Amino acid sequence: MSELATGGPPTGVGGRILSSRGLRTRRLLLEAAERVFAEVGYHDASIVKITEAAGVGQGTFYLYFGGKKRIFDELVLDLNTRVRHAMTEASSQGAIRSERELLGFGAFFRFTAEHPALYRIIRQAEFVSPEILQLHYERLTEGYVAGLRQAMEAGEVAQGDPEVLAWSL
């Protein structure tokens, strides 16, 4: 998998580092995939539909992704990274945990309003790529666990198991 799973820079097929132009094309393909998977679902989506929506040739697709499942997995992880970034940025403006929670949830709901396909795609992952769905939820809760531990130490929230609380949020 690419940088989204490993934390490294974005790469194409074969692990090659992408130029700024390559990064733009990759982003274009991910945005097109988001629209196509949302509109027709994973099973009716095709690489042809994705490349047509992106305005690139099919051969270009294979410079960046090995197939339909790979771009789907990358899309789920990309959406996850972006929603977490939005939540982290917003919540960092809060002085105490309750403010951070409100700001973070506000950012989450704004992101989902801007990306209405998010949960349609996440629901598809349950059947298409359960391991990526699990990674999606694990990454969402990791930030909560760390923040809740700090809030418990600061006396801002009641003591408890931060992991259980994070999963319930």
Question: Hey, what domains does the chain have and what are their CATH numbers?
Answer: 3-168 (1.10.357.10)
Mean pLDDT of 66-83: 96
Q: Are 135 and 144 in contact (CB under 8 A)?
A: no
Among 123, 18, 139, CA closest to 81: 139
Arithmetic mean of pLDDT over the chain: 91
The neighbour count for residue 153, using CB atoms within 10 Å, is: 10
Mean pLDDT of 114-118: 91
List the single range of 3-12, 30-39, 60-69, 108-117 with lowest mean pLDDT. 3-12
Mean pLDDT of 124-152: 92
Q: Are 57 and 51 in contact (CB under 8 A)?
A: yes
Q: Are 158 and 148 in contact (CB under 8 A)?
A: no
Task: Return the percentage of the chain with pLDDT > 90, whole number.
Answer: 73
Quickly list H helices, the chain.
Answer: 3-6, 20-44, 47-54, 58-64, 68-91, 97-114, 118-128, 130-153, 162-168
Q: Are 13 and 62 in contact (CB under 8 A)?
A: yes
Q: Are 50 and 32 in contact (CB under 8 A)?
A: yes
Task: Return the percentage of the chain with pLDDT > 70, whole number.
Answer: 95
DSSP helix/strand/coil, 66: coil
Q: State the pLDDT at residue 7.
A: 62
Mean pLDDT of 70-82: 96
Q: Angle at CA 11, nearest 5°, toward 122 and 117? A: 20
**Tens digits of residue pLDDT in 78-103:** 999 999 999 999 999 999 988 998 99
